[in-house]
Structure 1
């Protein structure tokens, strides 16, 4: 059974609920970036980018290291793994339901098939 760690999952899904933050995470999957590099693709200020980064940090999805005046961010995939595990539980649930539906439809087709063959003669 999936452990729900509700507060952590809530913050992770909140962080992932914004397209800007998801794109920032995608960038960080390629390696560490400065706050300026993360803000660059967007029409947002450094202050706005910093707010997005703080949400990602709060969720534990990134780590920020200060080197002099430079803030370097790097991806921390641990909380993503927790979210993936939570989603995987429901993936198995829906896969099971769809397998049952497929079996029922095949059985229905098999029942209708002999009747159709008799009509063709």
Structure 2
């Protein structure tokens, strides 16, 4: 599976997106990440493994403390991919705007006759 597909797969789950939002605020342990969720610590660990496989999360090691941290690079790749489609839609909207202006001008010209 390519990296972009892994990242989109990881982002498809709302719990994983919430975990990323938490890690965007700073490093946290698995216990700290798990606190607000009504799921088991084991379930949170599974979500973290998916995020790690996608390259979105890494774990450090400081004595007994293994903080998780957000790795934003894959998100930039997603943003770049989405930006291509954003340009596509902007061009479409521009053409639609041009078309509507032509219709309005034609309608105004017809009314004046």
TM-score, reference length from structure 2: 0.93
Provide Cα deviations, 1:33-56, integer angstroms capped at 9, x if missing partner. Answer: 111111111101110000000000
User: Which residue in 1 is equivalent to 2:100?
Assistant: 105
Choose the corresponding residue for 2:42, options 17, 22, 47.
47
For the aligned residues, what is the CA RMSD? 1.3
Provide the rounded CA distance (Å) in 1 between the counterparts of 2:32 and 2:108. 62
Provide the rounded CA distance (Å) in 2 between the counterparts of 1:111 and 1:27. 54
User: Any stretches of 5+ residues in structure 2 without a counterpart?
Assistant: none
Instruction: Note the 1:77-96 alignment, pairs <5 A.
Output: 77-96=72-91
Q: How far does residue 117 in structure 1 lie from its aligned partner after superposition?
A: 4.1
Instruction: List 4+ stretches of structure 1 deviating above 4 A.
Output: none
- 3-state secondary structure, aligned to 1:63: strand
Q: How far does residue 113 in structure 1 lie from its aligned partner after superposition?
A: 1.2
Q: How far does residue 104 in structure 1 lie from its aligned partner after superposition?
A: 0.4
Instruction: Note the 1:17-96 alignment, pairs <5 A.
Output: 17-96=12-91
Provide Cα deviations, 1:2-33, integer angstroms capped at 9, x if missing partner. Answer: xxxx7000100000000000011111111111
Q: How far does residue 71 in structure 1 lie from its aligned partner after superposition?
A: 2.5
